[in-house]
């Protein structure tokens, strides 16, 4: 088996695929890339058993074969080459030789048959959307997903597709984000929970992409196909909590404020907050928002006054500044709206501007008890 390929083209594809390989695999074969050659088409795959991602590359060859090549060794080697054609030749003694314009490099390979084969999806449903839309939906929600191994359903992003819209939800019980596209719909209603790792990989590959992404899914797996790449991953098993039930419907107190000004203020004030609770206090009266924090143990305290647009009763509410900062950071609007009902009920954060037609974002942040 022998093929010729451009060094930078190969490196670019392998760096994408390498994102799925764990640093400590239980199966040694998973430390490899699977190279599957079929004449001038080379399919490279990487897997961590839960997720398998593969890309098709065009190479110069008229042969067929399948081998596993050590991923780390190959990536480290390719990074050092300037753009040039490389010739890969499989030798008799279970080694593969890479020839460049300067020299030869020999590494051991394993048989391609040892590599776990990807799952075939049985009777999947299909939805198609733009790559950038999917990347945006992931980046707007994934930060709010939990890390609790005891509640695996909350450690992923909930995809809820209907004939009217696509909705993506993530929550860790302290914060919740719901991102909806009313301008895109699926052929039938369905829902599934995607794990974080493959989503982070999709987010980095698809950001800014104008490619169509086809999502196929059934009860247990989902497959994302775009360009020359396919990714199949196992879904998180379980029922997602009823998130609609926790979003308060009646919120008479509405605050509108410049996002950057609010974010910078929260950041500054939070430096003076208690290091375990990260608690900041919002005191709203008339057109004035007073943000304060205090760390009694160290006699640190800070407060700032901002002008805002507020309709509602005077109120005081406490939030964890880290959650608030994270949410404000993940919005790109100039102005945001914070809707509240009572100091012990969740606040709802939404962007006032900067959304596409049909795009909706609702962020929910749980309050913390204020020690008066």
pLDDT band per the 50, 70, 90 thresholds, residue 113: very high
Please tell me the pTM assigned to this model. Answer: 0.92
The pLDDT of residue 338 is 97
User: Would you say 20 and 51 are in contact if contact means Cβ atoms under 8 Å apart?
Assistant: yes
Helix (H) or strand (E) holding 302: strand 300-307
Strand order in the sheet with 104-108: 2-6, 85-90, 95-99, 104-108
User: Would you say 221 and 234 are in contact if contact means Cβ atoms under 8 Å apart?
Assistant: yes
Torsion angles phi and psi, residue 30, rounded to 5: -75, -5
Pairing of strands 347-351, 156-161: unpaired
- What average pLDDT does the structure give for the chain? 95
User: Would you say 108 and 70 are in contact if contact means Cβ atoms under 8 Å apart?
Assistant: yes
* Cα torsion angle, 285, 290, 294, 300, sign: negative
The pLDDT of residue 149 is 86
Domain with CATH 3.10.150.10 in the chain: 2-114, 125-244, 248-368
Q: How far is CA 20 from CA 28, 37, 96, 197, 221, in A?
A: 15, 21, 23, 8, 16
Rounded Cα–Cα distance for residues 119 and 97 (Å): 31
**Cβ contacts of 80 within 8 Å, gap of 6 or more:** none
CB atoms within 10 A of CB 50: 16
User: Would you say 175 and 202 are in contact if contact means Cβ atoms under 8 Å apart?
Assistant: no
Mean pLDDT over 269-284 rounds to: 96
Tens digits of residue pLDDT in 124-140: 999 999 999 999 999 99
Q: In the structure encoding, which two tokens stand for residue 187, read together?
A: 């052929």
User: Would you say 323 and 174 are in contact if contact means Cβ atoms under 8 Å apart?
Assistant: yes
The answer, yes or no, to whether residue 9 has pLDDT greater than 90, is yes
**Cβ contacts of 280 within 8 Å, gap of 6 or more:** 266, 269, 270, 273, 291, 292, 293, 318, 319, 320, 321, 324
The pLDDT of residue 172 is 95
Selection from 183, 175, 17, 34 nearest residue 111 by Cα: 34
Please report how the helices 196-206 and 131-141 are oriented relative to each other, as an axis angle in degrees rounded to 10: 130
The answer, yes or no, to whether residue 282 has pLDDT greater than 70, is yes
The pLDDT of residue 92 is 87
Give the length of the chain.
372
The answer, yes or no, to whether residue 164 has pLDDT greater than 80, is yes
Which architecture, in CATH terms, is 125-244?
Answer: Roll (3.10)
How wide is the angle at C-alpha 231 spanned by C-alphas 124 and 64, nearest 5°? 105
Selection from 355, 370, 169 nearest residue 259 by Cα: 355
Q: Place domain 248-368 in its CATH homologous superfamily.
A: DNA Polymerase III, subunit A, domain 2 (3.10.150.10)
pLDDT band per the 50, 70, 90 thresholds, residue 370: confident
Mean pLDDT over 147-168 rounds to: 95
Mean pLDDT over 90-99 rounds to: 94
Which architecture, in CATH terms, is 2-114?
Answer: Roll (3.10)
Strand order in the sheet with 190-195: 190-195, 156-161, 166-171, 175-181, 359-365, 347-351, 335-340, 253-258, 309-311
Mean pLDDT over 351-365 rounds to: 95
Q: Is 172 exposed, middle or buried (0-12, 13-18, 19+ CB in 10 A)?
A: middle
The pLDDT of residue 288 is 96
The pLDDT of residue 159 is 97
Tens digits of residue pLDDT in 168-210: 999 999 999 999 999 999 989 999 999 999 999 999 999 999 9
The pLDDT of residue 372 is 61
The answer, yes or no, to whether residue 371 has pLDDT greater than 80, is no
User: Would you say 173 and 154 are in contact if contact means Cβ atoms under 8 Å apart?
Assistant: yes
Rounded Cα–Cα distance for residues 40 and 62 (Å): 6
């Amino acid at each position: 088996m022998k093929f010729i390929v451009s060094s930078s083209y190969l490196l670019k594809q392998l760096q994408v695929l390498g994102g799925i390989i764990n640093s400590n695999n239980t199966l040694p074969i998973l430390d490899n890339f699977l190279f599957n050659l079929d004449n001038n088409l080379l399919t490279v795959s990487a897997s961590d058993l839960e997720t398998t991602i593969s890309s098709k590359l065009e190479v110069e060859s008229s042969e067929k074969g399948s081998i596993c090549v050590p991923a780390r060794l190959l990536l480290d080697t390719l990074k050092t080459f300037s753009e040039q054609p490389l010739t890969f030749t499989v030798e008799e003694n279970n080694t593969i030789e890479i020839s460049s314009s300067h020299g030869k490099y020999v590494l051991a390979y394993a048989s391609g048959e040892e590599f776990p084969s990807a799952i075939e999806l049985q009777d999947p449903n299909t939805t198609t959307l733009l790559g950038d839309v999917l990347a945006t939906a992931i980046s707007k929600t994934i930060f709010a997903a939990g890390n609790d191994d005891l509640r695996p359903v909350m450690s992923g992003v909930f995809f809820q597709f209907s004939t009217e819209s696509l909705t993506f939800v993530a929550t860790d019980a302290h914060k919740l984000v719901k991102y909806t596209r009313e301008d895109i719909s699926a052929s039938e209603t369905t829902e599934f929970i995607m794990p974080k790792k493959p989503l982070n990989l999709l987010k980095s590959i698809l950001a800014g992409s104008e490619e169509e992404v086809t999502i196929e899914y059934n009860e247990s797996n989902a497959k994302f196909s775009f360009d020359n790449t396919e990714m199949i991953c196992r879904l998180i098993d379980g029922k997602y909590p009823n998130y609609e039930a926790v979003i308060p419907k009646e919120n008479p107190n509405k605050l509108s404020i410049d996002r950057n000004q609010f974010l910078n203020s929260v950041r500054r004030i939070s430096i003076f907050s208690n290091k375990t609770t990260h608690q900041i206090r919002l005191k709203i009266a008339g057109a004035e928002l007073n943000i304060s924090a205090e760390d009694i143990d160290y006699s640190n305290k800070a407060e700032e006054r901002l002008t805002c647009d507020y309709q509602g009763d005077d109120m005081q509410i406490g939030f964890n500044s880290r959650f608030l900062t994270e949410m404000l950071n993940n919005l790109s609007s100039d102005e945001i709206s914070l809707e509240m009902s009572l100091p012990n009920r969740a606040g709802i954060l939404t962007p006032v501007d900067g959304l596409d037609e049909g795009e909706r974002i609702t962020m929910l942040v749980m309050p913390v008890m204020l020690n008066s």
